[in-house]
Amino acid sequence: MTLPRKQLISLEDTPCYHVISRCVRRSFLCGFDKLTKTSFEHRRQWIVDRVKFLASVFHIDVCSYAIMSNHYHLVLKVNDTKDWSIHQVLIHWASLCQLPHLCQKFMDKKTMSKAEMDMVLVMTDEYRERLMSISWFMKKSSGTIFHASLHG
């Protein structure tokens, strides 16, 4: 029986994890598909580039990787973001997703009420957790790669 990542991962016990992302229905990710006689080798670099980008955004190190024809393996080391400033967290998150208006207002150094600032702190705490989450890392890697593979 499979379990969700959040039930399998305990950063208190170990910061390093081996994760796999697989294609479904005999789909080809990379290499030459003998069935369709089509080469998908160009996708390998897409995956490498995306994983490197995500490693620069998330506070997760990629220790090792292997890209196979229908899946890829990553060995990841999760680092803590507790020492990151609000600004640093928001800069990293903004490179993945558009910031909400209040966070952008904070980044633009505009005057904010206490209630607005409290909300920015709540959102920053959420982004701080996400930037050290293997689930979010994999979500942002697989979704983009899958989307790119549909168009190339």
Instruction: Find the range with the poorest average confidence among 34-38, 42-46, 127-131.
Output: 34-38
Characterize 68-104 residue by residue with b for buried, 16 or more Cβ atoms within 10 angstroms of its Cβ, and e for exposed. Answer: ebbebebebebbebeebebeebbebbeeeeebeebbe
Task: Judge contact between 41 and 103, C-beta under 8 A.
Answer: no
pTM attached to this predicted model: 0.83
Instruction: State pLDDT tens for residues 65-121.
Output: 999 988 899 999 999 999 999 999 999 999 999 999 999 999 999 999 999 999 999
Average pLDDT, the chain: 88
Name all domains of the chain by residue range, CATH numbers in brackets: 5-80+135-150 (3.30.70.1290), 86-127 (no CATH)
